[in-house]
Structure 1
Amino acid sequence: MSPAVTDPAALPVLFQNALNAGDVDGVLALFAPGAGMRTVSGEQIAGAEELRTEIAGTVAAHGRLTNASRHTLVGAETALLVTDWTMEIDGPGGERIAPTGTTANIAHRDAAGSWRFTLLNPLGTA
């Protein structure tokens, strides 16, 4: 089990560091049970197995994420995390591509005081 995340603003950097290290379990530890996300292709996924498949695919494509926090808004044990990102990744033809975007992610503080992602939306408002 990973250490408690006491500041929701730390989540994007922790996600970035775990992903860049190829640590699929470390990335998944940042998600609350039952969490979901919208993938960069627009598909909605939820649950540990679907998240594992998505994250493992990014690691397999040699994903290298850079996150830059824009806003962290906190209220009622919930945080909205707006983060600019760049993901260097191997494209379908083996070429290196670097899509960018702005996330609109939601995190929740659990009863133990630890913050975890509940929803990731790397496409932001798109």
Structure 2
Amino acid sequence: MTAPTDPTALPSAFQDALNARDVDRVLALYSQNATMRTVTGKVISGYAALREEVEQTIAAAPHISNTTRHIIATDDTALVIVDWAMELNAPDGERVTASGTTANVASRGLDGTWRFAVLNPTGTAS
């Protein structure tokens, strides 16, 4: 999968990749040096840590729905604000729902594609 050439396509591309439970498609939407604040508050960076986080999420059989609130872009940087709701299996097997508002930063690469550089799925929530 190639990352989108329009930052407004990132939320739906992420939704489609996660709902397909495709680790590589999700990771293709992250820049090489991406950093993420996980829903538990831990800050991770680097391909190996991001892959592990995505694999753990996908192992919980997620289904996410994204609604773009707004995207503000300059030439090569975009702020991506998205409301999301996700169903997934808790460690005890119970199906649970989580929701929030992301505050993500995306960057445009030299190839013209946009990828997430900083991911914060809980936005300003603590």
Instruction: Give TM class, smaller chain.
Output: over 0.9
Given the two structures, how large is their TM-score scaled by the length of structure 2? Answer: 0.96
Aligned to 1:105: 104
Output the amino acid matched with 2:79: L
Give secondary structure in 2 for the equivalent of 1:101.
strand
Shift of 1:76: 3.8
RMSD value, Cα: 0.9
Is the contact made by 1:4 and 1:113 (CA closer than 8 Å) also made in structure 2?
A: no
**Structure 1 moving runs of 4+ over 6 Å:** none
Give secondary structure in 2 for the equivalent of 1:13.
helix
Aligned to 1:70: 69
Is the contact made by 1:39 and 1:121 (CA closer than 8 Å) also made in structure 2?
A: yes
Is the contact made by 2:80 and 2:104 (CA closer than 8 Å) also made in structure 1?
A: yes
Aligned to 1:34: 33
Which structure 1 segments of 5+ residues have no match?
Answer: none
Deviation string, structure 1 residues 56-106 (Cα, Å, up to 9, x no partner): 111101011111000000014100000000110111221111011000000
Aligned to 2:84: 85
Shift of 1:6: 1.1
Distance 1:37 1:3 in 2: 21
Q: State whether structure 2 residue 58 is matched by structure 1 residue 59.
A: yes
1:4–1:26 distance in 2 versus 1, CA, 3 Å = closer
Which structure 2 segments of 5+ residues have no match?
Answer: none
Distance 2:43 2:81 in 1: 19
Aligned to 1:117: 116
Aligned to 1:3: 2
Is the contact made by 2:2 and 2:28 (CA closer than 8 Å) also made in structure 1?
A: no
Distance 1:89 1:23 in 2: 15
Shift of 1:4: 4.3
Is the contact made by 2:88 and 2:95 (CA closer than 8 Å) also made in structure 1?
A: yes
Is the contact made by 1:109 and 1:116 (CA closer than 8 Å) also made in structure 2?
A: yes
How many pairs align? 125
